[in-house]
Amino acid sequence: MNFERELRKRSNDSCEMCGSINNLLVYTVKPSLKKVSIEECLLACQTCTSQIEDSTIINPNHWRCLNDSMWSEYPAVQVIAWRMLNRLKNESWPQDLLNMLYLEDEVLKWAKATENVYNDGDNKIIHRDSNGAVIEAGDSVILIKDLPVKGSSLIAKRGTAVRRVSLDYENAEYIEGKVNGQQIVIVTKYVKKL
């Protein structure tokens, strides 16, 4: 079924990610159900769709548009915003946006399900807590030991919950999260997944 007319009306003839009015395409957010619905689609420009599909050509500055589009009321747009912010974590600005972004449980599950669509399964680093449970971006953990924070007088106390953690994609032993308003790196063997 062709959703283009409805999506153009919904988006005022502009890309739902960056606002461009050129080279607009209907993009189906993976994984789609057997029968695709308009809720699984968004209208996106060719620049956005090519970078969503191919992480080797991502231009981080192009995705600063997520500052606006992440607030969309449409789940397909929210899912792509979450995914792109997670893929851009090595930049300095996406983490704050991720911390602000709230997704309903069902939408977050969809976003996480699609996370593996674009990753190399062979090279993926897996983060595990002290009990061996897999930690994913956006999960919440609890500290199981008092941890002094390097370069600060802060001591992250045992029992502190750290919400919506981000992952270090180069080292399976490190995650990041906010404790007392300060973004810190935490060693995974000192946390338990909530």
In 31-120, which ranges are E strands?
Answer: 41-45
Report the 10 Å Cβ neighbour count for 84: 24
pTM of the model: 0.60
One DSSP character per residue, 71-84 reads T-SSHHHHHHHHHH
**What ranges make up the beta strands (E) of the chain?**
24-28, 41-45, 127-128, 134-135, 141-143, 147-148, 155-156, 161-162, 166-167, 174-179, 182-187, 191-193
Looking only at the bridges linking them, the beta strands covering 182-187 and 147-148 are unpaired
Name, of 1-10, 68-77, 93-102, the range with top average pLDDT: 68-77
Structure tokens that stand for 121 in this block: 């399964």
Token pair listed for 142: 């609890």
| Tokens 């929210």 sit on residue | 78
Per residue in 115-145, pLDDT (tens digit) is: 544 444 445 678 889 888 888 878 899 999 9
How do residues 3-15 score in pLDDT, each as one tens digit? 788 999 999 999 9
Domains of the chain (ranges; CATH) run 4-118 (no CATH), 127-193 (2.30.30.40)
